[in-house]
Amino acid sequence: MSAQDCVLCNEVGGRLIWQNDLVRIINADDAYYPAFTRVIYQAHIKEVTDLSPEQRHELMDYVYLVEEVQRQVLQPVKINLAQFGTMVPHIHWHIIPRFNEDPHYPDAIWSIAKYDQHHKPTSSYITKQQELLAHYESTLVNRLKLLYK
């Protein structure tokens, strides 16, 4: 896939939280996972090993910062980190805070949900996640601004 045909080169890929010349950090806009965040490398590169060791280290610093802020603010049971690129061969990381109440826990969010139309996440779970979202994103942006002026 060329950069011309790449969805992550031609679209933001979600709701933009922050960006610079190296990466953009977006909210994936998932109703059950409000703080599902992606770190997307700005340049159209297919594999992490196509980056220099320094570039890989810098990219991962962003991923780790997102995870750190999610843990601090959201206090999830676990954080899932994923980097596939099969569907969209453009370097990007998924950072997903996980909670006992989420629809797939403890399975991957791409698996079949354990809930059906009669058993869905409670409104209090979804409301709590939405309320924490603004605090999480503002904390993340503030940390990014301090570290990457």
pLDDT tens digits, one per residue of 24-41: 999 999 988 999 999 999
**Joined tokens for residue 15:** 């709701």
pLDDT of residue 23: 98
pLDDT tens digits, one per residue of 39-55: 999 999 999 999 999 99
What is the domain-level CATH number for residue 141?
A: 3.30.428.10
pLDDT tens digits, one per residue of 5-23: 889 999 999 999 999 999 9
pLDDT of residue 25: 98
Beta partners for residue 94, in sequence order: 38, 82
Q: Which of 49, 39, 34, 50 is nearest to 8 (CA)?
A: 39
Is pTM beyond 0.85 here? yes
Q: How many domains does the chain have?
A: 1
Domain that holds residue 50: 3-147
